Every structure is written in structure tokens, then in C-alpha cells.
């Protein structure tokens, strides 16, 4: 399988993998910053070996990108807006929609937000617009006014 992937796709995959590993290791505030390249190059008994050979400009670019992502407290992605309302009873309506959503889709994270004067409720943490669109198609019968928004999403969990 690896041989059938173009060199550009391999580089993109490795960049994504290193980025996810770096974010997973640096999610705690105050934690000492870990140099992912040094960590991958460390010898570990009975765990194989990784050798990274690259131009120094790639390392500079990686650190620049990771530093800018670190300031976001998340990564760029997509969520689905399932509720947005104002008024005296907007908070109660938001809680009702939250309960209704959780009863049907319990494994999907919900995010509440109050930006005066709106109460807002978002579903999911989707890396790509196509992932968000697939889920939107699933919920559109229950939430016909739902729509996709760009947002800063939570870091993906590694299994």
C-alpha cells in the first residue's frame, strides 16, 4: 500500500502524523515543550528505529506552524450549528435542544456558546468539511435548520 502512494502524499501523511503527535504531547499548559524530531530519533529498546533526514527549512516551517497552532488552543476545523437564538427564554431553549441532541447522538460532543445576545449550540469536532457534511446529512431530519461553520475545534484523540 505504501508503495502505491505518491511522494507528495507520503510527505503530507508524515507531516500530519508528526503534527498530531506533537499536539498530543503538548496539550497541557506549562508542560515543557517536547522536540518531536529528537523524540522520534531516540533509541528505544525493542521498538524499532526512526531516522528523519530533511532540510533544516522543513524543521523551521514545522516549528513555525506548530507554534501558531499552539496559540489557538485547538486546530482549525468545522462544527455544525444546531441552535442559535436570542431572547429571555433562549437559554432554556438551548438546554432543551442540547438534551434532544444528546438523546439521539450521545457520542458527538456539544459546545455551547453565549455571544451577546445569542445562545449558540454546536455539534462535533470535524477536521474536514466533508466529514461535517456527512454528519449534517445524518441529522438534517431532526435538526432542519442546522448548518456547517468553520471553528477552532478540540485536538483529535489518539487511540
pLDDT tens for each residue of 19-64: 655 555 544 443 344 466 666 666 677 777 767 777 778 878 877 7
Q: Are residues 89 and 148 in the same domain?
A: yes
Q: Answer yes or no: is 159 within a domain.
A: no
Q: Are residues 66 and 79 in the same domain?
A: no
pLDDT at 4: 56
**Structural domain containing residue 50:** 2-70
Instruction: Tell me how far apart the alpha carbons of residues 139 and 8 are, in angstroms, rounded to a whole number.
Output: 35
Question: Average of pLDDT values for 93-107?
Answer: 95
For residue 112, how many C-alpha atoms fall within 13 Å in the half-sphere facing its CB?
15
Percentage of residues in the chain having pLDDT higher than 90? 48
pLDDT at 109: 94
Q: Are residues 56 and 79 in the same domain?
A: no
Instruction: Tell me how far apart the alpha carbons of residues 22 and 1 are, in angstroms, rounded to a whole number.
Output: 25
Q: Are residues 48 and 79 in the same domain?
A: no
Domain boundary residue among 70, 93, 119?
A: 70
Q: How far apart are the first and last CA of the chain?
A: 22
Alpha-carbon dihedral sign for residues 103, 109, 112, 118: negative
Contacts for 147 with CB less than 8 Å, ≥ 6 apart: 80, 81, 136
Q: Answer yes or no: is 140 within a domain.
A: yes
Q: How far is CA 50 from the centre of its chain?
A: 26
Q: Are residues 63 and 94 in the same domain?
A: no
Q: How many CB atoms lie within 10 A of CB 99?
A: 9
Instruction: Tell me how far apart the alpha carbons of residues 6 and 38 are, in angstroms, rounded to a whole number.
Output: 26
Q: Answer yes or no: is 158 within a domain.
A: no
pLDDT at 35: 61
DSSP annotation of 35 reads -
> Would you call 80 exposed, middle or buried from its count of C-beta atoms within 10 A (0-12, 13-18, 19+)?
buried
How many distinct structural domains can be found in the chain?
2
Amino acid at each position: 500500500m505504501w508503495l502505491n502512494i505518491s511522494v507528495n502524499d507520503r510527505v503530507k501523511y508524515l507531516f500530519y502524523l508528526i503534527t498530531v503527535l506533537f499536539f498530543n504531547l503538548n496539550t497541557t499548559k506549562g508542560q515543557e515543550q517536547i522536540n518531536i524530531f529528537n523524540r522520534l530519533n531516540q533509541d528505544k529498546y525493542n521498538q524499532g528505529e526512526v531516522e528523519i533526514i530533511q532540510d533544516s527549512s522543513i524543521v523551521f516551517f514545522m516549528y513555525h506552524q506548530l507554534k501558531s497552532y499552539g496559540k489557538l488552543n485547538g486546530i482549525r476545523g468545522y462544527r455544525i450549528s444546531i441552535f442559535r437564538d436570542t431572547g429571555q427564554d433562549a437559554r432554556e431553549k438551548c438546554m432543551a435542544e442540547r438534551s434532544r441532541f444528546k438523546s439521539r447522538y450521545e457520542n458527538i460532543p456539544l459546545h455551547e456558546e453565549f455571544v451577546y445576545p445569542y445562545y449558540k449550540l454546536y455539534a462535533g469536532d470535524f477536521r474536514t468539511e466533508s466529514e461535517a457534511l456527512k454528519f449534517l446529512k445524518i441529522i438534517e431530519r431532526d435538526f432542519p435548520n442546522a448548518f456547517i461553520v468553520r471553528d477552532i475545534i478540540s485536538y483529535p484523540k489518539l487511540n
